[in-house]
Chains A and B, each alone.
Chain A
C-alpha cells in the first residue's frame, strides 16, 4: 500500500469489517461464523444472484475500553445489507448469546430491510431478532444501535433499531421503515420525491431523527466518534420495564398531537423551537448540537 494513503475515518465510507475494527479495541475482535466457514444464503442460487461468504453480516465478540461486548455489523454493499435467512440467524444467535452471558451488544445497521428473494425467512428473522432483543433487555442487557451506513436503516431494520436501548446516528445516517422509493411508488411523487435528496435527509436523516428524539446521540461521521458514543451509551443504566414503555407511549402520543399536522421537517423544527430551521441542514456537528440541545425531544429508552 502506498504511504500517501491516509486511513479512512469516515463511518459512512467504511465497510462492515472496518467499522467493527475501528469501533472495538484494537485486535480484540473474534468473529463468529466468519467467511471462511462459507455459511451462505441457501436461496440466492435460485435467482442466479451472487452470494457472499458471510451473507452480508459480521458478528462476534470483542472489547470496548476493556469491557467485553458482542458486536454485529451489516454490510450495506452486499444486497443493500438486507436480512436473509443466514444473515438474520447470525444476529438472532448473537443476541440470544448476549442474554445468556449478560453481555451488551453493539449493532451497526446498514440495511434496506428484508431481502426480497428470501422474504419469508427474512421476515421471520426480523420478528425473532425483535423478540431476542426485548428478552435480552428485560434481563438487563444493553443493545446499542449505530446508524450511519450507506444503505440507511429501513424496513425491518428500522423496526429492530427502534427496539434498541440506545441509538447513535450521524448526519448521513437514515432511519425509517418505508424507504423513499417505496413511498414514492405507493403514494406518488407529489407525496414524496425520492430524488430530492435534501428532502429525503431532512425527513429521515440523522439530524431530523435526533431533533425529534428518535435517537439518543448525534455524532460526526467518524469511526472514533461512533466509538466514543457507543461507550457513553454502554455506561447508561439498563432499564426496560412497563413504566418506561408507558412513558414512551405517552411521549409519542403527545408528539403526534403536537406535530402530526405538519407536512415538512422545517415546520417541525420550527415548532420544536429551533431558531433558524432552514440553516439546520448545513450546520456542522458542533453547531448543530448547540442549536438543538435545548429544543430537541428526548426519547425514553423504551423507544
Chain B
C-alpha cells in the first residue's frame, strides 16, 4: 500500500508552485495567468465560480488565457455557465468535460457546442444535485471563487451574494483541493467572515467588483391584465383554500403579479397573516409592497439582488443578515429550504405536455435547470405535517388511512395559454425530447415531471391534477385550461364539463372572479419607481430599470 496523503501532498506542491507568484496569499492580477498555469494540472476538476448571479469573471479571463499546452483536459464542475469565457475554455482546448446546472445567457451557444462535440457533457443537474456530487464523485481539485474583499489571512467577505461559495469551498478545501479567490480589495479587516481564511489558499486583488446581473427584478409596468387574472386565480383558488404560508415563487411575471396583488387583492380577501408569511425567495423587488404592508414574516434567499442591499439591511426582521448588517444568502441551504420546508412552488414554464410534464428548453436552447426542479418536486423524505401538505395528500389519495398517507407538496405551473410571440404553452411533445435526440442525451431535460405537478393555472382557470383519477382525466383537465390553443380546442367538451362539476377544473367565474376586475389597478406598484417609493427610497434600482 502506498501513501495515504497523495492529495494533501499534491496540494503542497501546488502551494509551493503558486507561492512563487504570491506575496503571502496575495497574487497580483498581472501574474494571474502564469500563476494558474503553475497550480492547475492537466485533467484537474475545476470549479470556476459561475453562480446564478455572481461571477468570478477575472479568474475566468485568467483561465482562458493559459497555454493549452500546459493546462488542458480540465473537467469543469460549476453551477452556472454564464460568461462567454466559460465556453471559450472549450473552444481553446483548455477544458474538455462539463458538469453544470444552468446556462441561461449561453444557452444557445452551449447547445451548438454540445451538438458539435466540442464539449463532453457529464450531465445537466439541479443545483442541489450538483452540490451533492461535489461531496461524492465530482469533488473539485481547484476552486476559483469570487468575494467582495479579503484580509491578509485570506478571510473572505462575500457580501449579500454569498450564494454557492461556502459549498464549493467546503468540498474543495477539506479534500486536498486548492481555493483561489478573486476580491475587489484586500483590506485590514473584513466586515464579516463568510469564508474562514484557512480554507483560502490564494487571493487575487482585482480592483473591481465581481460581475453580477440583476436577474430577479421584474418591472411592474410590463405586467399584463392576463397575468393579473392568473394571479387572482392563484391567490383565491389555491393560496386561500390550502392556506399556504411557506412558499417559493419562480421569477416570471405571473408570480411577480401575485406578489404585487397580496397587499391589495389579498387584503380585500382578508388573507393577510393567513398566507405567504414565510418564504424561500431571492430578494424580489416586487415583494417590497407586501413586506411594507406587514404580510411577510421572513425570507431566506439563494442569492442577492442588485439594488436591494440597503433595503434588506434595513429589514433584518425579514431577511437573514450578518453582523455587518448585510444580507447573508446561501444557495445550498435555501434550495434545501425550498425543497423540504415550503408547502408550495409556483412558477412559469415554456411548454407543458398533456400529462403535465413541463420544460423551458427549446430545440436550440439548453438553459439547464437551476433550482426549479428542487422547489418543484414532492420531497419523499419529508415527514413533518402542515395544513396544505395534508390537504393535498388527501385530495390525491382520499381512500388511504390518514395516519399512513403521505402529504403532497403543491407544485403549480402558471402561465398564459399563448405565451411570448403567441406560441402555445401546451404542446403534444416537448421540445426537450427533440433536443435530447439531437444531443444524444439519455434523459430529456424535463424541468418538472408530470407526477410532481399538482395544479396548472392559466387565464382559463385552474386544473387540479390531484383530483384526477386516470391519465385520461388528467389529459382533459389540462386541455380544459388550454383555452384556444390547438390542444385546448381538442378537448372533449362533455368530459371537461364533468371535471368542472367536480371542481377539478375551476373557471374564474366558479371562483367568483369577474374578468373585468383583472385590472392593473390591483398592482400595489405599477412601476419600478413605485417600488422605490414603497421602500422609502431604500431600494436603489439599477440603471437599466429606471425610466426617470
B518 CB, min distance to chain A CBs, angstroms: 10
**A5-B517, A5-B521, A6-B521 known; A196-B548 Cβ under 8 A:** no
B547 interfacial contact with A, CB 8 Å: yes
Is B543 within 8 A of A196, CB to CB?
yes
- Number of residue pairs spanning A and B whose beta carbons lie under 8 angstroms apart: 50
| 8 Å CB contact of A4 from B265, B514, B547, B548 | B265
Binary contact track A275-303/B, C-beta < 8 Å → 1, others 0: 00000011000000000000000000000
**A196-B543, A197-B543 known; A8-B521 Cβ under 8 A:** yes
**A4-B265, A4-B267 known; A197-B546 Cβ under 8 A:** yes
A157 CB, min distance to chain B CBs, angstroms: 18
- B500-548, CB < 8 A from A: 514, 516-517, 519-522, 526-527, 543-548
A172 to B530, CA, bound (A): 13
Residue with the highest number of chain A CB atoms closer than 10 Å, among B519, B527, B547:
B547
A232 interfacial contact with B, CB 8 Å: no
B268 interfacial contact with A, CB 8 Å: yes
Binary contact track A213-239/B, C-beta < 8 Å → 1, others 0: 000000000000000000000000000
Is A199 within 8 A of B543, CB to CB?
yes
B465 CB, min distance to chain A CBs, angstroms: 30
| 8 Å CB contact of A196 from B221, B514, B517, B544 | B544
Which residues of chain A come closer than 8 Å to B520, judged between CB atoms?
A: 8, 13
A205 interfacial contact with B, CB 8 Å: yes
Binary contact track B481-516/A, C-beta < 8 Å → 1, others 0: 000000000000000000000000000000000101
A7 interfacial contact with B, CB 8 Å: yes
Is B522 within 8 A of A5, CB to CB?
yes
B106 interfacial contact with A, CB 8 Å: no
A149 CB, min distance to chain B CBs, angstroms: 12
Is A1 within 8 A of B544, CB to CB?
no
Which residues of chain B come closer than 8 Å to A196, judged between CB atoms?
A: 543-544
Is B546 within 8 A of A198, CB to CB?
yes
Which residues of chain B come closer than 8 Å to A207, judged between CB atoms?
A: 548
Binary contact track A155-174/B, C-beta < 8 Å → 1, others 0: 00000000000000001100
Using a Cβ–Cβ cut-off of 8 Å, how many residues does chain B contribute to the interface with A? 20
**A13-B520, A13-B526 known; A4-B268 Cβ under 8 A:** yes
A201 interfacial contact with B, CB 8 Å: yes
B364 interfacial contact with A, CB 8 Å: no
Q: Which residue of A lies closest to B548 (CB)?
A: A171
Which residues of chain A come closer than 8 Å to B527, judged between CB atoms?
A: 12
A284 to B545, CA, bound (A): 18
B133 CB, min distance to chain A CBs, angstroms: 37
B264 interfacial contact with A, CB 8 Å: yes
A186 interfacial contact with B, CB 8 Å: no
Is B514 within 8 A of A1, CB to CB?
yes
A136 CB, min distance to chain B CBs, angstroms: 33
Is A2 within 8 A of B546, CB to CB?
no
A5 to B523, CA, bound (A): 10
A195 to B219, CA, bound (A): 14
| 8 Å CB contact of B516 from A1, A12, A199 | A1
Is A2 within 8 A of B268, CB to CB?
yes
**A2-B517, A5-B517, A13-B526 known; A197-B545 Cβ under 8 A:** yes
Is B548 within 8 A of A205, CB to CB?
yes
A10 interfacial contact with B, CB 8 Å: yes
Which residues of chain B come closer than 8 Å to A1, judged between CB atoms?
A: 514, 516-517, 519
- A178-204, CB < 8 A from B: 195-201
- Counting from the closest, the 5 A-B pairs by CB-CB distance are A198-B543, A4-B268, A198-B546, A5-B521, A197-B546
Known: A172-B547, A197-B543. 5 other contacts (CB 8 A): A172-B548, A198-B546, A201-B548, A281-B546, A282-B548
